[in-house]
Chains A and B, each alone.
Chain A
Amino acid sequence: MASRMLDLVAALGHRLNEKLIRLGFATRFFFMLLVYSGQSFTRLHLTIREIYFSGVLSLLIILVSGLFVGLVLGLQGYETLQRYGSSDALGVLVALSLTRELGPVVAGLLFASRAGSSVTAEIGLMKATEQLTAMDMMAVNPIARVVAPRFWGGVIAMPLLAAMFSAMGVFGGYLIGVVFIGVDEGAFWSQMQSSVDFREDIVNGVIKSFVFGVAVSLIAVFEGYDSAPTAEGVSRAITRTVVTSALAILALDFVLTSFMFRGV
């Protein structure tokens, strides 16, 4: 009986140990990534290529989802606000919820599943087919050549995508509120402009989306680089990318929000 307990404790300790080693490796990997970034920026077209793959190709899904989120916000917001006779505040509701929360968070989640997963798959498969080892043999640093461009491509693309998402959402809210329901157009925009603060709301939203971009890109390249070099290992790594990114985005969002919006 005592030895059974001991085995259990040992197994638990082993798993914890493994997790800590992985965390330590992730930190070391992040610093290596930063160190070799300078080397990868000397071949800038690699990063531009990755902005194309993770940014431009995500454009459609981001714009369409932004539009629909804005439409739904317009409908639901109007439905609730008109009960209190303040449907003029619809613009404020749509703009604040998009620039502060929904823009960065939903764009981040979409970005993780659209671009993050494909980055993990690509790096994981390169590892499984021993392309990364081959590069090392040819004295080409795989972190500078493969990992860093994908990381920076994601970091640059993410804030731009979130801004597009928010802008599209505001347009969706305008479409439903002003064009279909008939909220006064002047009140819609002027109330929005008087309540949305550039520094408090918009800049903080951009900071959030930048942080999410760093988190998602780092998780995606790390999971790919760390994946087991088998078909199963790559598929697991992709799953982990999406799950970990989603959790990281939501947790970071809570932390950042509690720093940014204390309500003075």
Chain B
Amino acid sequence: MNRKLLDLWVGVFVAIGIAALLFLALKVGNMSAANFVETYSLTAKFDNIGGLKVRAPVKSAGVPVGRVSEIHFDPQTYEAVVTINVDTRYRFPKDTFASILTSGLLGEQYIGLDVGGDEKMLAAGGVIAKTQSAVVLEKLISQFLFSKASDGPDKK
């Protein structure tokens, strides 16, 4: 086979391969959407983070505005300290409320930011004071069962 035709075929092959990689990166993966260019970090303390993972999304009004960058345990206060990276385009007031929510019944957990009315904004490295822990399904069920049981058998 002559060399030009060979080069053509190999060129086509490599082009298809790179196209497949691009397809995987852009259409299958989240290369295009959720990479925030410039971020600043905030921390929040939770009593219980449930199943929250590093790289979980941070959403405000349902729109992704950042990602969880680090989770560690504070041995002094026995709380979980979660560091989040938020896109610099978005500023949040000081009394922003952070809660750990679940998308759908069995979906992944994320941090929801509910905006308060404070005039002052959180600076980089700021601490979100008001937080709500993850809802642990087992606790919820056991509370429900205990309250049922304490109602007594006659009230069934």
Contact = CB atoms under 8 A, between A and B. Distances in A.
Contacts of A198: 25, 29-31
B124 interface: no
Interface of A: 45, 48-49, 51-52, 55-56, 59, 84, 86, 95, 99, 157, 159-161, 163-164, 166-168, 170, 189, 192-198, 201-202, 206, 264
A204 B19 CA distance: 18
A198 B23 CA distance: 11
Interface in B29-55: 29-31, 33-34, 53-55
A206 B57 CA distance: 25
B13 A86 contact: no
A201 B24 CA distance: 10
Interface residues on B, range: 20 to 34
Nearest to A55: B13
Interface string B97-125: 00000001010100000000000000000
Given A84-B106, A164-B17, A202 B28 contact: yes
Contact of A202 (B3, B9, B25, B104): B25
B20 interface: yes
A202 B106 CA distance: 24
Nearest to A63: B16
A197 B17 contact: no
Given A164-B16, A164-B20, A166-B20, A189 B6 contact: no
Contacts of B30: 193-194, 196-198
Contacts of B106: 84, 86
Given A160-B17, A163-B17, A264-B54, A201 B10 contact: no
> Which 6 pairs show the lowest CB-CB distances between chains A and B?
A160-B17, A167-B20, A163-B20, A198-B29, A198-B31, A164-B20
Given A52-B9, A86-B106, A193 B17 contact: no
Contacts of A159: 17
B1 to A, nearest CB: 8
A87 to B, nearest CB: 12
A45 B6 CA distance: 9
B130 interface: no
A99 B17 contact: no
B18 interface: yes
Nearest to A49: B6
A59 B18 CA distance: 14
Contacts of A167: 19-20, 23-24, 28
A189 B33 CA distance: 13
